[in-house]
Chains A and B, each alone.
Chain A
Amino acid sequence: MELWFTESHTPSVKFSIQVDRQLYCGQSEFQRIDVFDSKEFGRFLTLDGYMMLTEKDEFIYHEMIVHVPMAVHPSVKRVLIIGGGDGGAIRELTRYPTVEHIDLVEIDELVVEVCKKYLTQTACSFNDERVHLHFQDGLRYIRHCENDYDLIIVDSTDPFGPGEGLFTKEFYGNCYKALKEDGIMVNQHESAFYADDAIAMQRAHKRIVESFLISKVYQAHIPTYPSGHWLFGFASKKYHPIHDLKAVKWNALGLKTNYYNTRLHAGAFALPNYVEEMLRDAE
């Protein structure tokens, strides 16, 4: 018997993982949630059939979305995570003793429940007393925040479906308002390789540039996401992601990481020419 999970990366490109067994299947108010076991990638979570994370490569995504801003901002105390119901970003953040308060705003409570039960590799820090969960629409939550956070992490799904509102100008503008004067926003920024993802990427970039003075894009290699080449956005009111990198200070923390290091930090902002060109077009 062969059982395969297949996701269409474009109408004519498919990505498949052989599945050992399905552990969970459920439908929330917002989306279909599935958890599978596989030989190659370990457990993995999909939402509406789109790959969210696998045990094998999630470290890349979560280290890159958390440690890059944390190595730039000298004293992050209050953090807001929008999305991120798998708990991976929380896991990385709670390793910093200086972080005092983390609000996680996830629209779908069932995602958190399912991850707590089946994906303990990421959902392992929800019980940290600094973590506060809010199950509501991110756009609605952030509307009421002003000058409140040092760091906002937008760990969203793709811009079709429940995550759509998190790729809009009104959302990024509200993030700007919710950040303190030296605050940083990082976001899942889609990919530049396939045309549909590239359009979403350019739109997001345009909207962020309109809202933030400093707006840079960095990359990582994530094998299970379309094309394997994934981008993140770094937007800030004050800090430049490379000039203000505090490498010595970060290395002194002694955090053990599998992907991130401060040399890669600077390198991740060096983008391929075709990506730079797309970003320039969007600006």
Chain B
Amino acid sequence: MTKLSQDRMPILEALNQFKQMRVVPFDVPGHKRGKGNRELTDFLGERCMSVDVNSMKPLDNLCHPISVIKEAEELAAEAFGAKHAFFMVNGTTSAVQSMVLSACKEGDKIILPRNVHRSVINALILGGAIPVYVNPEINHELGISLGMTLTGVKKAIFENPDAKALLINNPTYYGICSNIKAITELAHEQGMLVLADEAHGTHFYFGENLPISGMAAGADMASVSMHKSGGSLTQSSFLLVGNEVNPGHVRQIINLTQTTSGSYLLLSSLDISRKNLAVNGKEIFQKVYQMAQYARDEINQIGDYYAYSRELINGDTIYDFDVTKLSINTLDVGLAGIEVYNILRDEYDIQVEFGDVGNILAYISVGDCQRNLERLVSALAEIRRRYKRDKAGMLQYEYINPEVVVAPREAFYAEKESLEIHKTVGRICSEFVMCYPPGIPILAPGERITREMLDSIEYVKEKGCSVTGPEDMDIKFLNVLKEGY
């Protein structure tokens, strides 16, 4: 078989051919190319509905690809420099979970930083792996957690030589990268698999002068959110596999939880976006970088805001920085990031990606234009003019090193009771508490609840963060393990 070139889009081509065949549908989906649901078709458009179809011979099958999906996966693998690429339609969450479940069985240890996305810890609940946390360092001025230190990783590996895998954020939500190459080498020396959570790093594979990608650093698996910087539809994603991993095994793991009715809207969006990045990625991310840099320079001229970048690089916990990210510290304005986030939306009709205690993140992509950047910068200038106040009383973000008393899975399924939140100090939590976004848990199942954790939850609630996770939607009660644990 001749190798396809990167400007081909096998899934898109198959769908276009399929439309021309005018096949009479006596199969699902029941809307039958949109005719059975006029309102939905008016809303989404006939072209969209006509390709919302089921797996069939000319279109291949996501669970067992042998033709066009297989070709598209091979093209994606080549574009990302991977041995194999899986098309994921259950979100990057499912890619992360499949990665962890492929590497670890019940009781296996996995080394990871605690500032991971909740999907990672969810995978520990599903599969029963035991977390070994490497404390991320903190930048106190900015109030963000950073990457893992090399010595911290070394120590964790030395103390847990039996760990099966190591997971690394590349980069964090804020754009911070650890020394993934050196960490990967350390882990490989001990025979551990390296898993890269690249939910925020798709562009590393295509842009120039960006941090190294997981696959290039030698990672064994990587979860790549194509729908973030890659431009595909929400919920679509790639799971990449490197040399040391058996793709057949990973496929079986994916098929444990992934839908058997993979959406061709999502699949074709991945195929088209991969082609676009492979062909135009370099220019696209150059433009994104220029826009982010322009906004950064303008924002830093306003005063009090700090839009940070590569000047933070310190050779270890900030080994590299993703310059396409526009992360802005707001503390010197006297406002929490989440307050600026809310003012931008409520008063200026500007939605940024997230706000935390001290920062906001504005997501810049190829879809942005100069005019909108001017609006963001001007709105930030106005917010400072109108709201600037003394920063006294602002809570400094502190990373709270959690004490993991019980493995997440055991804690999740253990006998538990619901207590008023202020009565839970010292108890073991059985659920998550986090701000969403960014979705990094303040508390995870199996961790001991401390006074400072509760203060932190109280503070972010008061500032207006959307706190999620617990069964009690108002977060007045927490589920904790019954006494005796």
- B-contacting residues of A (Cβ < 8 Å)? 137, 139-140, 142-143, 162, 164-165, 168-171, 173-174, 177, 210
Contact = CB atoms under 8 A, between A and B. Distances in A.
A170 B371 contact: no
A139 B374 contact: yes
B396 to A, nearest CB: 29
Taking chain A's interface residues, is the majority helix, strand, or loop, or is none over half, making it mixed? Answer: helix
Contacts, number: 49
Contact of B374 (A140, A169, A173, A177): A140
Contacts of A174: 378, 381-382
A210 B382 CA distance: 13
Contacts of B347: 169, 210
Contact of A168 (B302, B348, B370, B386): B348
A169 B385 CA distance: 13
Nearest to A168: B375
B377 A137 contact: no
A168 B349 contact: yes
A174 B298 CA distance: 15
A137 B370 contact: yes
B388 to A, nearest CB: 13
Contact of A165 (B298, B374, B382): B374
A173 B386 CA distance: 9
A107 to B, nearest CB: 9
B370 A170 contact: no
Contacts of A169: 347-349, 379, 382
Nearest to B347: A169
Contacts of B385: 173, 177
Given A169-B348, A170-B348, A139 B386 contact: no
A170 B386 contact: no
Contact of A162 (B298, B371, B375, B379): B371
Contacts of A165: 371, 374-375, 378
A208 to B, nearest CB: 14
Contacts of A137: 370-371, 374
Interface in B117-145: none
Given A169-B347, A170-B348, A164 B371 contact: yes
Taking chain B's interface residues, is the majority helix, strand, or loop, or is none over half, making it mixed? Answer: helix
B241 to A, nearest CB: 44
A43 to B, nearest CB: 29
Given A137-B370, A168-B348, A173 B382 contact: yes
A164 B371 CA distance: 8
Most buried by B among A139, A168, A170: A170
Given A140-B374, A143-B378, 17 more contacts: A137-B371, A137-B374, A140-B298, A140-B377, A140-B378, A165-B375, A168-B375, A168-B378, A169-B347, A169-B382, A170-B348, A170-B382, A173-B386, A174-B381, A177-B382, A177-B385, A210-B347
Interface string B334-374: 00000000000001110000000000000000000011001
Contacts of B375: 139, 165, 168, 170
Contacts of B377: 140, 143
Most buried by B among A143, A162, A164: A143
Most buried by A among B370, B374, B385: B374
Closest 6 CB pairs of A and B: A170-B378, A170-B379, A173-B382, A139-B374, A170-B382, A139-B378
A159 to B, nearest CB: 12
A231 B84 CA distance: 62
Interface in B381-439: 381-382, 385-386
B371 A171 contact: no
Contacts of B382: 169-170, 173-174, 177
Nearest to A203: B349
A120 to B, nearest CB: 30
24 contacts: A137-B374, A139-B371, A139-B374, A140-B374, A140-B378, A143-B298, A143-B302, A143-B378, A165-B374, A165-B378, A168-B348, A168-B349, A168-B375, A168-B378, A169-B379, A170-B378, A170-B379, A170-B381, A170-B382, A171-B378, A174-B381, A174-B382, A177-B385, A210-B347
A282 to B, nearest CB: 15
A202 B446 CA distance: 53
A30 to B, nearest CB: 9
A63 to B, nearest CB: 30
A112 B378 CA distance: 25
Contacts of A168: 348-349, 375, 378-379
Contacts of B378: 139-140, 142-143, 165, 168, 170-171, 174
